[in-house]
Every structure is written in structure tokens, then in C-alpha cells.
């Protein structure tokens, strides 16, 4: 819920920042930076010796390794940067070692930004920051709590490893990680403990039964499970998977596929089943959604309100339990059976007015104008927006233009 309330205040927080404003995708650009890796060896006799390497950081993922050795001692440093539409990770790994009868050298390994790594953000986001080795500072953007506004930010790194004169070796690994959360990702997600409990069993006609269950952790809106082991004279196999897909502009799909199979020698009866026999999968909606369900197969699945409600083709904000059960039951005289279900819950933002006639819902654009003209020409009910109703005339055009001009709240 922390992120939800953060999103409610984002537009106010970021109102003075240039650009941005709720785009479908976050775009992260790496616009420059210079990283220096150095190793200094200070022998027991003589002057310190230093090896240095510098390299530029750009918008492509980077990996650099540097090693330097002198006077039976040396060190190495690794720097890597990777980023996607919703994350940026920087890893620094350092090591040092020496050999010799007296172990008299000291070694210093350092990774630091000579020029800060510059990151440009094109939309406002909620974020978490794990600052293992550096700092994140706004240049043209702004940070308010867990919200970053559109703008430019500087990442400064400075990490040093010291190998003492009587140590054989030393090493360390440090991360700087920035995780970004686009507003669309907060609207729909799987919750409820983060796992789906799925039981599978196979049983022969003598009652021999072997239960197998696997706990499927839900990460990023997906899960996959397997169950149903061999038992007695019946072999079983069951698989299921689920995923939330974000299609942008408030449109989502929740998909669950499940299949159970059973085989046996002729003359026996058995079964294999899979489903949410323990805890249900929890679907959490933070905004109301229009919905439709498409399903096929011979299994059963249900969508039950917990804190939300279902009104016709609308789901209110709240939580919903998804449960399913698929069985493959072999009757006497047969040798195999299959049960399956493919279930897709399509979610979209509800239409904001009578002018919102085309997808994506919740957004008024030229596609709605085209849809209105087509419906008006065909005398369809969706274009009958003004009195007298049942008649398609200029009052419907005026009503459409008024609703379109008012926009979506």
C-alpha cells in the first residue's frame, strides 16, 4: 500500500519537473560517466607502485576487469553495470593477494567514479535504493520519499579494499541497486503470501495413493508448478502455470493453464489431480477494472471476491481468490485420461464516458472518434448518446463532442 499512496501524490510532487507524466513504460538512459579502477602495492622495501585503468560508461551494459601485480603482491577489480526498463544494477568485486616469506606488502584496490554516472529518467516512478557502494543525487530531477521525478541523476561510487601487510588475501563484493516501479505495475498483482499451494495425487483402484505437492513462489506475477508422481499401477503427471501480463494503458491479462494426465495398465481405475487445494491464489486490484473471462477445457476454476465485489462486467478495487481443480480420472477398461483448463481473465480500465468507445478504455483519442462515426453510421446503440433516444441525429454528435471534450477524469 505504500507504493499505492505514493502514486496518488506523484503528479503533485513532480509537477515542476520537465517531461514525464505517466507513460506506459519507464525509460532509463545512461548518458555518461567515467569509472577508474586502481591497485596500489606498497612493498616492505621500496616505493609504492600503482596501476590504473579508466573507462567510459554509456547506455549499453558494461563489464570491465583490471588486474595489477608487483613485488609478489597484486590486486584486481571488476565493475559491471546492467539496466532494464525498471532496474539498474552496479556490481563491484575486488580482490588482493600476496606471497613471500615475510608477507610485508600492503595492497589497496579502489573502484571510483572520476565522472559520475549520469542517468536520465523520462517518467516519474516509485523506487527502492540499495546503496552498497555509492550515492544517487538529483541534478535536474527531484526525489521525494520513494518517488523519483523525471530528470537527470548522478551516481557516485567509491569503494576501497585494503590488504594488510601480514594477510595472505582479501576480497569483497558490493552492489549498488536501483529498483524502479512504474505506476501500471501497482494496479494488478498476485499477493496472498507470495505462493500457490498445489497438490497432486495418483491413485489406483486398490486405494494405493501417493500425494505430491509443490509450493510455487509467485515472482513478478508468474508461477509454475508440477505435481502427481507415480503410485501403484497408475502414473500421473500434472502441470500448471500462471502469469499476469501488462498490455499498457491499464489493460492486463491473468492467465492460468493447468493439465493433469494419468496412465495405467488395462483393468485398473485411477486418477491424477492438481489444483489450489490449500491456499487460493490472491488477485489484488488497486483500481476498478472492467473484465471478461475466456476459458476452455474440462477443469473448474473460480474467481471469488474477498474484499472486492463483482457487478456485471466490473470488478471493484479489492482482493479476489482464484481457485482451480483439474482431474484426470481413468475409468475401468481405459488406459489413459487427460484433464485440462485454459483460463484467461482480461482486465481493462473502465470506460470514462459515453465517448470512450474504443480500446484502450480510460483514454480518449482519435480511435474513439472513428468508433463513434462507425456506430453512428450503422445506427448502433453505442452512438445513441443524446435525446431523443432511439433516433440517430445531430444531438448524438453534440453529446459525443461534449463528452469527448470533457476528457477522462
Q: Give pLDDT tens digits for 127-155.
A: 888 877 889 999 988 888 778 887 889 99
3-state secondary structure of 313: coil
CA proximity to 28, closest of 189, 162, 152, 197? 152
Domain match, 336 and 203 both? yes
Query: In Å, how far are 78, 241, 283, 353, 408 from 362, measured between CA atoms?
Result: 48, 30, 21, 8, 6
Mean pLDDT of 1-16: 39
- What's the pLDDT at 166? 86
Q: Which three cell numbers stand for residue 41?
A: 602495492
Domain match, 95 and 125 both? yes
Q: Which three cell numbers stand for residue 169?
A: 588475501
Contacts of 366 (CB under 8 A, 6+ apart): none
Domain match, 209 and 144 both? no
Q: Which residues sit opposite 177 in a β-bridge? A: 89, 130
Domain match, 198 and 163 both? no
3-state secondary structure of 259: strand
**Strands 318-330 and 281-285, sheet pairing:** antiparallel
Helices (H) and strands (E) in the chain, counts: 3, 28
60: confidence class by pLDDT, cuts 50, 70, 90: low
52: confidence class by pLDDT, cuts 50, 70, 90: very high
Query: In Å, how far are 173, 213, 241, 278, 305 from 237, measured between CA atoms?
Result: 43, 12, 14, 19, 31
pTM as predicted: 0.47
62-114 pLDDT, tens per residue?
789 999 998 889 999 999 987 765 678 889 999 999 987 778 899 999 999 99
CA dihedral 282, 283, 287, 292 (to 10 degrees): -140
Domain boundary among 158, 186, 214: 186
Domain match, 307 and 322 both? yes
Q: Is 90 exceeded by the pLDDT of residue 50? A: yes
Residues 184, 187, 191: CA angle, nearest 5 degrees: 125
Mean pLDDT of 229-237: 60
- What's the pLDDT at 62? 79
- How far apart are the C-alpha atoms of 228 and 223, rounded to whole Å? 17
**Total count of domains within the chain:** 3
CA proximity to 240, closest of 264, 275, 192? 275
Domain match, 329 and 376 both? no
Q: How would DSSP label each residue in 141-203?
A: S-EETTEE-SEEEEEEEEEEEEE-TT-SEEEEEEEEEEEEE-GGGGTEEEESTTEEEEEEEEE
Q: Is 90 exceeded by the pLDDT of residue 310? A: yes
- How far apart are the C-alpha atoms of 401 and 355, rounded to whole Å? 8
- What's the pLDDT at 117? 92
Q: Is 70 exceeded by the pLDDT of residue 7? A: no
207: confidence class by pLDDT, cuts 50, 70, 90: low
Domain match, 97 and 125 both? yes
Domain match, 206 and 174 both? no
- What's the pLDDT at 16? 36
222: confidence class by pLDDT, cuts 50, 70, 90: confident
- What's the pLDDT at 325? 83
Best mean pLDDT range from 3-7, 132-136, 279-283, 349-353 = 132-136
Burial per residue of 111-121, b for 16 or more beta-carbon CB atoms within 10 angstroms, e otherwise = bbbeebbbbbb
CA proximity to 209, closest of 191, 189, 229? 229
- How far apart are the C-alpha atoms of 57 and 113, rounded to whole Å? 10
Q: Which three cell numbers stand for residue 264?
A: 495405467
Residue range of the domain that includes 77: 2-186
Determine the longest span between alpha carbons in the chain, in angstroms: 102
Domain match, 273 and 380 both? no
Domain boundary among 186, 216, 250: 186
Best mean pLDDT range from 30-39, 263-272, 319-328 = 30-39
- What's the pLDDT at 158? 94
Q: Is 50 exceeded by the pLDDT of residue 235? A: yes
59: confidence class by pLDDT, cuts 50, 70, 90: low
Mean pLDDT of 383-393: 84
- Contact predicate 260/328, CB 8 Å: yes
- Contact predicate 30/59, CB 8 Å: yes
More reliable by pLDDT, 409 or 247 = 247
- What's the pLDDT at 178? 86
Domain match, 122 and 253 both? no
Domain match, 181 and 323 both? no
Domain boundary among 132, 151, 186: 186
CA proximity to 310, closest of 353, 278, 343, 345? 345
More reliable by pLDDT, 193 or 325 = 325
36-45, 88-97, 252-261: least confident range: 252-261
331-381 pLDDT, tens per residue?
766 778 888 899 999 888 777 777 777 766 666 777 788 888 888 888 888
Instruction: Work out the mean pLDDT of the chain and round it to a whole number.
Output: 78
Domain match, 240 and 109 both? no
- What's the pLDDT at 393? 87
Mean pLDDT of 185-201: 59
Amino acid at each position: 500500500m505504500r507504493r499505492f499512496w505514493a502514486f496518488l501524490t506523484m503528479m503533485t510532487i513532480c509537477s515542476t519537473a520537465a517531461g514525464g507524466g505517466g507513460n506506459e513504460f519507464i525509460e532509463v538512459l545512461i548518458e555518461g560517466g567515467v569509472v577508474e579502477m586502481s591497485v596500489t602495492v606498497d612493498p616492505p622495501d621500496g616505493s609504492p607502485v600503482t596501476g590504473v585503468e579508466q573507462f567510459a560508461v554509456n547506455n549499453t551494459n558494461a563489464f570491465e576487469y583490471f588486474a595489477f601485480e608487483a613485488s609478489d603482491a597484486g590486486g584486481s577489480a571488476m565493475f559491471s553495470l546492467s539496466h532494464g526498463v525498471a532496474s539498474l544494477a552496479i556490481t563491484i568485486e575486488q580482490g588482493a593477494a600476496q606471497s613471500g616469506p615475510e608477507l610485508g606488502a600492503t595492497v589497496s584496490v579502489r573502484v571510483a567514479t572520476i565522472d559520475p554516472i549520469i542517468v536520465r529518467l523520462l517518467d516519474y516512478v516509485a523506487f527502492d535504493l540499495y546503496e552498497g557502494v555509492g550515492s544517487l543525487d538529483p541534478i535536474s530531477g527531484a526525489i521525494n520519499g520513494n518517488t523519483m521525478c523525471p530528470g537527470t541523476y548522478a551516481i557516485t561510487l567509491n569503494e576501497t579494499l585494503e590488504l594488510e601487510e601480514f594477510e595472505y588475501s582479501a576480497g569483497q563484493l558490493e552492489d549498488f541497486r536501483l529498483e524502479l516501479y512504474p505506476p501500471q505495475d501497482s494496479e494488478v498483482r498476485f499477493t496472498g503470501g507470495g505462493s500457490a499451494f498445489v497438490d497432486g495425487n495418483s491413485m489406483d483402484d486398490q486405494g494405493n495413493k501417493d500425494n505430491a505437492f509443490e509450493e510455487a513462489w509467485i515472482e513478478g506475477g508468474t508461477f509454475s508448478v508440477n505435481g502427481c508422481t507415480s503410485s501403484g499401477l497408475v502414473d500421473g503427471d500434472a502441470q500448471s502455470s500462471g502469469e499476469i501480463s501488462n498490455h499498457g494503458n491499464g489493460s492486463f491479462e491473468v492467465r492460468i493453464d493447468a493439465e493433469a494426465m494419468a496412465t495405467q495398465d488395462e483393468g485398473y481405475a485411477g486418477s491424477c489431480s492438481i489444483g489450489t487445494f490449500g491456499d487460493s491464489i490472491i488477485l489484488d486490484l488497486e483500481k476498478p477494472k472492467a473484465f471478461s473471462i475466456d476459458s476452455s477445457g474440462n477443469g473448474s476454476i473460480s474467481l471469488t471476491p474477498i474484499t472486492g465485489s463483482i457487478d456485471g462486467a466490473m470488478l471493484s478495487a479489492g482482493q479476489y481468490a482464484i481457485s482451480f481443480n483439474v482431474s484426470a480420472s481413468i475409468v475401468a477398461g481405459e488406459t489413459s485420461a487427460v484433464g485440462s483448463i485454459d483460463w484467461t481473465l482480461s482486465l481493462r480500465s473502465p470506460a470514462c464516458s459515453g465517448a470512450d468507445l474504443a480500446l484502450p478504455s480510460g483514454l480518449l483519442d482519435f480511435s474513439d472518434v472513428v468508433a463513434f462515426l462507425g456506430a453512428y453510421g450503422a445506427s448502433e446503440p453505442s452512438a445513441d448518446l443524446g435525446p431523443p433516444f432511439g433516433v440517430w441525429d445531430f444531438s448524438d454528435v453534440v453529446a459525443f463532442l461534449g463528452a469527448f471534450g470533457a476528457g477522462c477524469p
